[in-house]
Amino acid sequence: MSQIEGTQPGRSTSERSFLFGERVALRGVLRMDMNLYRGWLDDSEITHFLEMGFRPTSDHDLETVFKLSTETHENIVFTITDKQSGQAVGLVGLYAINWVCRRGDYRIIIGERESLGRGLGTEVAKLVVAYGFETLNLEVMTLGVNSENHRAIQSYENAGFVREGVRRKMIYRNSRYYDILQMSVLRDEYYANKSGSPA
């Protein structure tokens, strides 16, 4: 058995969960999650708007992802689980955290097709945004998203992110180039929205 294999891929227990929403729970990344992650990256429907998925995922790729998710101070990464089933459905995290400038880059992948379109991404984003400001004391969270991934953009806006600008022709997928929409949410905006007052 290789290092990235496990006996119960994707299963979670309440003891392992760190953040909780109504329908999702976020826990630390486990090695057994990596086989599910391989399937998500190798699913062209899941990666349709993403930079990843241009080649089959290797064991080395998965080991790199696992180490980046668990062994660096600059990344805080969670496995997203469905609270009802306990099944892992994606990964989310704050990456490249700069502890002096108090910023982090938000990234998410929901890899189980049946979990798409259910609003889970918005719930996860709200959990991580609250965690970033209230627990980590960040000042700003940023992200980049394919400008034609309208479902993801709507989800981010529902979680408080605002549009900043466009980086042109930054992603090559599906035999064409796509622009990246840059978005961010500031600490003051988060607390203003939380209190119900205008930002």
Query: Active-site positions?
Result: 156
- Residues 108, 38: Cα–Cα separation, whole Å: 15
**Residue ranges with strand state E in the chain:** 17-20, 24-28, 76-82, 88-98, 103-110, 140-146, 162-173, 176-186
For the record, the structure tokens of 161 come out as 């992110």
d(CA 143, CA 105): 5
Q: If 0-12 CB within 10 Å is exposed, 13-18 middle and 19+ buried, where does residue 111 land? A: buried
